[in-house]
Amino acid sequence: MKAKYLLFAVLLITIASAVGVAAGESTKPYEVIQWNSPKPIGERIGGSTYVLPDGWKEAVAGVKRIKVSNFGALKHDPATVQNAKKFEELTGINVQVLAWAEAPIVAKTVSIFAAKSPAVDVFCYDHPTTYTQMVAGGWLHPIDAIWNDPGAWELYAGPLKEGLKAPDGHIYGSIGQTKTMMLYYRPSIVPKPPETWVELRDMAKKATTPKVWGYVYSAGGEMDIIYPLRDMVYSQGGRIVDVERQRIVIDSPEGRNAWKMLAEMVLVDKSAPASVLEYSWMGVADLFGMGKAAMIMTHTVDANRYQDPKKAPGIQGDWAVTSPPKWDGTKPDSYHASYFDVDGYMINTFINDRQKAAAMLFVDFMRSYEASYRELIVEGNEAAVISVYDHPDASKIPVPKARQAAMKNAVLETFPPAGRMLTDVLMEYFANVIGGKMELMEGLEKCQQVLDDYAVPE
């Protein structure tokens, strides 16, 4: 008799604990984290020291490592390396940063998704050109939870909130690094920098010699041609993405002006080389560093490189930065604009739930004041958190105020899905014009036609 009762009791306890465990498991590990405590998100990540959210420890119990992809070699991203180390100190989770070459990054990312593989936890991605595509693929883990505080949005530049929202209303991406472009020039060749593109074109003509090009821009790849086109279009107050129709529009008054000026700088003025068809945005920055260009537009982070005599042998002591030009004198000053670049982080939906919790924690940390501080001061990227520019250390970096202003004016546009395919068309037709295979406006009109013909996904 006693034995029967004992058995029954044991059975009952077993069933009860099983149910208990199952009930416990129905809450996902990442839902255990309370992002808004001990302080609201905005204060928690916006203070000079990052504070971990409550519940993080049990959420990530057992996670030893997360893998995060990175644009390019780590030696160019000292801030990322330091931030990763700090994260490991805080949480005990090792961050393995994968240095992926730029060209195949999207392909590698997508092939991991296509294989539904958990090989990488967090992916870096270029927000303007690939966000909508990644979301459309259904591969991303939503991270609305970490943005659940109005105070959080206020830390960053205005365009970010709308930019991070996907068409379905959820948020799937977060900030890694932000950048914009500014005008670099050689004071010895161009004593007073141009305020407008129209002025710049004239100055470039005068500055061109057999050894130095007046102005150099990139048109080599689909990711390169959009820089000069976008900047010139924004400088006129225009846009190149028609959000309603999910199209790229180059055949607009602003687009035509930009197209014409860029092509004529090569074909008519001879102030830019035909080799722009090969240059990437990195190649253009290299050329300036070697002293072969009088003026270029490039990322603010290149200021660090130009200070280094090993990396910029041709221009030591002879380079300066100013804000991006506006189109001409008739435009308002807010059109001193370049593009707002977000290199973001997105989380793989195919990893297990504990890894997701760890990944969300990492992403939370990387957008904090502390992480942004390192981005600005250690690496010379822009700081995503605007208040970092007011920190006394900010005066150590070149032209902090001009950069802050440029970030305020910068324009964020998100491309439709297959964005890179569309910009590829821009690259092709622009090359046809420069290569003499098509007339100037014929190239533009044909290009727009091909862009419009592209099937819009349902």
Partner 1 sequence: MIEKIFGSRALPYTTAIILLGLMMLPMYWTTVTAFKPDEETYVFPPVYFPHNPTIEPFRLLFEDYPFGSYLRNSIVVTLTTTLIVTAIGVLAGYGLSQFKFRWADTLLWILIFTRIIPPLSLLLPFYLLISWLGLVDSLASMILANIYLTYPFAVLIMKSFFDSFPRDLIDAAVVDGCSRTGALVKIVIPVSATAIASAAIITYLWTWNEFIYAFVFTSTPSAQPVTVGCFDAIGDIFVNWNQMCAGSLTAALPGIIFVFVAQRYLVRGLAAGALKF
Partner 2 sequence: MRLSNPWYGFLLNLPGLVIVLLWVLFPAFLLVCWSFLRHDNINPVTFAGLGNYVALFEHRLFWLSFGKVAVFCVGTTALTLFGGMALALSMVKITRGSWFFRSLMILPWAVPAVVSGIIWKWMFSPDFGVISDLLIKIGLISEPLSIYGNFDLAMVGVIVADSWTRIPFMAIILLAALLSVSPELYEAAKVDGAGSLSRFASITLPLIKGPAMVGLLITTMFSFRTIDIIIPLTAGGPGRATYVFGYYIWDQIIKTLNFGVAAAAGMFLFFMTSLIAAVFVYISKRET
Q: How far is the CB of 352 from partner 1 (least distance, A)?
A: 15
98 is an interface residue for partner 1 by CB under 8 A: yes
| The dihedral formed by the CA atoms of 357, 358, 361 and 365, expressed in degrees to the nearest 10 | -160
| Rounded Cα gap, residues 389 and 122, in angstroms | 28
289 is an interface residue for partner 2 by CB under 8 A: no
Tokens in use for 302?
């290149």
Q: How far is the CB of 376 from partner 1 (least distance, A)?
A: 19
**Helix 281-289 crosses helix 222-234 at what angle (to 10 degrees)?**
80
Binding segment (CB under 8 A) for partner 1, from list 40-48, 137-145, 307-315, 328-336: 307-315
Signed CA dihedral, 322, 326, 331, 334: sign only: negative
- Return the one option of partner 2, partner 1, none that residue 373 interacts with (CB less than 5 to 8 A, by type): none
Among 68, 79, 189, 277, binds partner 2 (CB under 8 A): 277
| Rounded Cα gap, residues 437 and 431, in angstroms | 8
Q: Which H or E run includes 286?
A: helix 281-289
432 is an interface residue for partner 2 by CB under 8 A: yes
419 is an interface residue for partner 2 by CB under 8 A: no
Q: How far is the CB of 435 from partner 2 (least distance, A)?
A: 5
- Report the Cα–Cα distance between both ends of the chain, in Å, rounded: 69
437 is an interface residue for partner 2 by CB under 8 A: yes
Helix, strand and coil content of the chain, in percent to the nearest 5, comes to 50, 15, 35
Among 94, 252, 275, 307, binds partner 2 (CB under 8 A): 275
Among 25, 290, 352, 456, binds partner 1 (CB under 8 A): 290
Among 14, 37, 48, 117, binds partner 1 (CB under 8 A): 117
Q: Which H or E run includes 20?
A: helix 2-25
Q: How far is the CB of 381 from partner 1 (least distance, A)?
A: 13
107 is an interface residue for partner 2 by CB under 8 A: yes
Query: Where do runs of H (alpha helix) occur along 92-221?
Result: 105-114, 127-137, 150-153, 159-164, 197-207
Binders of partner 1: how many residues, by CB under 8 A? 30
Judge contact between 321 and 300, C-beta under 8 A: yes
Binding segment (CB under 8 A) for partner 1, from list 18-26, 70-78, 166-174, 391-399: 70-78
102 is an interface residue for partner 2 by CB under 8 A: no
Q: Phi, psi at residue 295, to the nearest 5°?
A: -145, 140
- Return the one option of partner 1, partner 2, none that residue 47 interacts with (CB less than 5 to 8 A, by type): none
| Residue closer to partner 2, measured from CB, 28 or 437 | 437
Q: Which H or E run includes 270?
A: none
| Rounded Cα gap, residues 172 and 92, in angstroms | 25
Contacting residues toward partner 1, per CB under 8 A: 69, 72-73, 75-76, 98-104, 107-108, 111-112, 114-115, 117, 119, 282, 285-286, 289-290, 305, 310-311, 313-314
